[in-house]
Amino acid sequence: MHRLYLEKYENEVFQALQRGEDAKPKVTYDFYNRSFVLNQNISFGSPRSDTCHTCDRLQNLMLAELDPESKKALQTEKELHIRKSEMFYRKLKEVTALSKED
């Protein structure tokens, strides 16, 4: 967002930074970030958990599906997908632990 601010309001500084030149903007990133945190209570960061594309797709299809049989088939497919992913991560942990020992 700070980059968008620079591009719109301090275009000369933005262009200089894009070229790799040393330029000092009027509003620094730290000031911009502090303003958002204190005034708007907006935080920056990554989400704590994430879902895969397949899980999201199946969930959206289930929500939109009206036919109970189709909905049940989608739910079964999602459960199978989740079980496969759990088995993968369990195997990954085992292999990681084994590689640390070996």
Number of independent structural domains in the chain: 2
Does any domain span residue 82?
Answer: yes
Q: Give CA–CA dist 7/18, Å, rounded.
A: 10
Q: Which residue has the higher pLDDT, 48 or 66?
A: 66
Flag whether pLDDT at 2 surpasses 90.
no
Does any domain span residue 48?
Answer: no
Q: Give CA–CA dist 58/87, Å, rounded.
A: 19
| HSE (side-chain half, CA atoms, 13 Å) at 82 | 11
Q: Give CA–CA dist 66/79, Å, rounded.
A: 19
Does any domain span residue 46?
Answer: no
Instruction: Output DSSP code: residue 20.
Output: T
Structural domain boundaries enclosing 22: 2-40
Does any domain span residue 35?
Answer: yes
| pLDDT at site 6 | 78
Asked if residue 57 and residue 36 are part of one domain, the reply reads no
Q: What is the pTM of this model?
A: 0.50
Asked if residue 31 and residue 6 are part of one domain, the reply reads yes
Does any domain span residue 45?
Answer: no
> pLDDT tens, 61-101?
999 999 999 999 999 999 999 999 999 999 999 999 999 88
